[in-house]
Amino acid sequence: MKSKKETSPVRSRDKVIQSLYEIELSGSDLKDILADLALQSRYPHFKDLLTGVINSKEDIDTILASNMDRKLSSLDPIERNTLRLATYELLYTKTDAPIIINESIRLSKKYGAVDGHKYVNAVLDRIYKSNSE
C-alpha cells in the first residue's frame, strides 16, 4: 500500500463531504464514522481531513461568514460543507490553493445543487486572495 504522502486526497475528500453531510443531516456521531477502519485504510487522508474540519468548524464558519454575502445556513448542505473542507485545507494544510479550489468545484458539481459550484468558487477565491495579501 502506498504511504500517505504518496496517495492523493481526491477520493478522501469525497468521503469527507459525504460524512460531513451525514453528520449534519442525520446527526451521526464522528466517533461512529471513524469506527469504520476499512474506510480509513482505503482513504488515508479521510480521518485527518474530517477531524480537522470538525475540530476547526467554529473558526472556519467565522472566516466563511466574513467572506460571504449570505448566511452559511442558507446554503445547500453540500456547498456549505465543501466550503468548510476547502477553507480548512487552505488554512491548515500545505496543499496548493488552485488544487483545493478545483477539487471543491468538482465536489460541488458532483454532489451539490445546480450552479452551486459557481458560488463555492467565488467564496474560495475571495478567501484565497485575502489570505495571500
Q: What is the CATH number of the domain that holds 76?
A: 1.10.940.10
Phi, psi of 97, deg, nearest 5: -55, -45
Rounded to an integer, what distance in angstroms lies between the CA atom of residue 92 and that of residue 88? Answer: 6
pLDDT tens per residue across span 20-35: 999 999 988 899 899 9
Instruction: Please report whether residue 95 resides in a domain.
Output: yes
Amino acid at 109: K
Under 8 Å between Cβ of 130 and 90: no
Instruction: Please report whether residue 101 resides in a domain.
Output: yes
Rounded to an integer, what distance in angstroms lies between the CA atom of residue 84 and that of residue 38? Answer: 25
Asked which of 2-11, 40-49, 93-102 is least confident by mean pLDDT, the reply is: 2-11
pLDDT of residue 126: 95
Residue 132 has pLDDT above 80, yes or no: no
Instruction: Please report whether residue 1 resides in a domain.
Output: no
Rounded to an integer, what distance in angstroms lies between the CA atom of residue 25 and that of residue 81? Answer: 11
Kindly state the average pLDDT of the residues 110-129: 95
Domain residues for the domain of 19 are 8-132
Q: Which three cell numbers stand for residue 108?
A: 460541488
Question: Cell 477520493, residue?
Answer: 11
Instruction: Please report whether residue 2 resides in a domain.
Output: no
Three-state DSSP class for residue 25: helix
pTM summary value: 0.92
pLDDT tens per residue across span 46-82: 999 999 999 999 999 999 999 999 999 999 999 999 9
Kindly state the average pLDDT of the residues 73-102: 96
Instruction: Please report whether residue 3 resides in a domain.
Output: no
Amino acid at 5: K
Residue 119 has pLDDT above 50, yes or no: yes
DSSP 6: G
Residue 99 has pLDDT above 70, yes or no: yes
- Please report, for residues 46, 100, 102, 104, the alpha-carbon distance to residue 116 in angstroms, rounded to integers and kept in the order given: 24, 16, 13, 11
Amino acid at 124: L
Instruction: Please report whether residue 48 resides in a domain.
Output: yes
Residue 1 has pLDDT above 50, yes or no: no
pLDDT of residue 92: 94
What is the number of domains present in the chain? Answer: 1
Instruction: Please report whether residue 33 resides in a domain.
Output: yes
